[in-house]
Structure 1
């Protein structure tokens, strides 16, 4: 049995919007045969329901009650993780411009963050989890054995998101870059669990690097840590 199988660790990948966290985390999880947890999708699911309910994104009490009523389940899909809310697959609806423009406002609410952190910690109790977000290493899983802070230039992140939403969307690359920079500001300045690089996180700037290169670096770090844990237990 390999070290990574006998000593499963938790991996936290944090970073700003559009840094490629979800893609990298999913591929790292697949390489290590771990469970991938897309926390950003969970916040997007809450945001979707907030918008559908007509609630104000700054109504902490009402949005918090709604978040506590939602049954959010993450399931492996054929090409990406599926997000089910109250038994309905909402995966295809979570990357719209409307969600992009509102998710930071919902995610900064204390009631929402507390509820999502509770669910996320439950998922990580068994170990062998790769979790990405903005406060995983600092708030949700501060004891994760491997913490990574993944970033890229704002232009590169905007370009990636532009390709994701498609050129038919009613927004220019320049507007998207401005929105991403504003989202960075909101994430960094929020009072509850702001976007920060954990003091013990390893920094990766993915600007100009391929996804495979980034994934391989994180996988090798994870394997090395698992081997160290295995050696210490002998």
Structure 2
């Protein structure tokens, strides 16, 4: 069947990445975590003391950033590399989460990342998750999903993820971070987080990961049959 682009957008900790990874695996598609790209930029800015209010510093820094993904066979997952170094664990830490929405809202950063993302998805057969994939990066994606979930559920999921990385963060602090990111992502001037008109809404509050994956796979199959015919 003809390969398609599957764009999965939504709020933080709704299960976007987990769903996207499994869908890509079952379809034999490439998985691209756009959020990891912005986290990698945030890490670079942090490590190199880039002033996010200085356009010249931002442009210079972006030119020095190379982001790639490599599959880790032992973990059976794709990992993020920044200028040749594996930064997968570091970019998931809370101090990066607290800054990533601010950095990703910078127009120069967003335009550069969007350009890279479009190149990665040019040949189709891609599942990409993020904040503006269906609305901006791939507005013509054959399948668009927008995920959401209750705040309490999202906070519990994020805390569990952090605990698995030996980071103990109180639920109230996580909820504060999620709400702040929601606000910044939804109100930024450059490609804000919105629900694309032709997106399917997936509320993951009370359904399991396998159910989320099955829902997306069913829609994907329908789309592939449609476009193949």
Query: Taking structure 2 as the reference length, what is the TM-score of the superposition?
Result: 0.95
Structure 1 position 132 matched with structure 2 position 129: yes
In structure 2, do the counterparts of structure 1 residues 59 and 155 end up closer, same or farther at CA, with 3 Å as the change threshold?
A: farther
Gaps of 5+ in 2: none
Q: Alignment RMSD, CA only?
A: 1.3
What does residue 161 of structure 2 align with?
A: 164
In structure 2, do the counterparts of structure 1 residues 58 and 204 end up closer, same or farther at CA, with 3 Å as the change threshold?
A: farther
Question: How many Å apart are 1:182 and its aligned residue?
Answer: 1.0
Question: How many Å apart are 1:81 and its aligned residue?
Answer: 1.3
What does residue 87 of structure 1 align with?
A: 84
What does residue 220 of structure 1 align with?
A: 218
Structure 1 position 153 matched with structure 2 position 150: yes
Which SS does the other structure have where 2:89 is aligned?
A: helix
Structure 1 position 47 matched with structure 2 position 33: no
Which SS does the other structure have where 1:81 is aligned?
A: strand
In structure 2, do the counterparts of structure 1 residues 155 and 58 end up closer, same or farther at CA, with 3 Å as the change threshold?
A: farther
Structure 1 position 211 matched with structure 2 position 206: no
Q: How many pairs align?
A: 226
CA contact (8 A) 1:108 1:191 kept: yes
Structure 1 position 35 matched with structure 2 position 4: no
Deviations 1:33-60 (A, max 9, x none): 0000000000000000000001233434
CA contact (8 A) 2:132 2:192 kept: yes
In structure 2, do the counterparts of structure 1 residues 15 and 61 end up closer, same or farther at CA, with 3 Å as the change threshold?
A: farther
Matches of 1:216 and 1:113 in 2, distance apart?
31
Matches of 1:59 and 1:204 in 2, distance apart?
39
Matches of 2:173 and 2:199 in 1, distance apart?
31
CA contact (8 A) 1:83 1:90 kept: yes
In structure 2, do the counterparts of structure 1 residues 210 and 58 end up closer, same or farther at CA, with 3 Å as the change threshold?
A: farther
Higher mean C-alpha deviation, range 77-86 or range 30-39: 77-86
What does residue 76 of structure 1 align with?
A: 71
CA contact (8 A) 2:162 2:168 kept: no
CA contact (8 A) 1:68 1:115 kept: no
Which SS does the other structure have where 2:124 is aligned?
A: coil
CA contact (8 A) 2:50 2:61 kept: no
Gaps of 5+ in 1: none
4+ runs of 1 displaced by more than 4 Å? none
What does residue 98 of structure 2 align with?
A: 101
CA contact (8 A) 1:58 1:106 kept: no
CA contact (8 A) 2:162 2:169 kept: no
CA contact (8 A) 1:60 1:110 kept: no
Matches of 2:151 and 2:44 in 1, distance apart?
28
Structure 1 position 122 matched with structure 2 position 119: yes
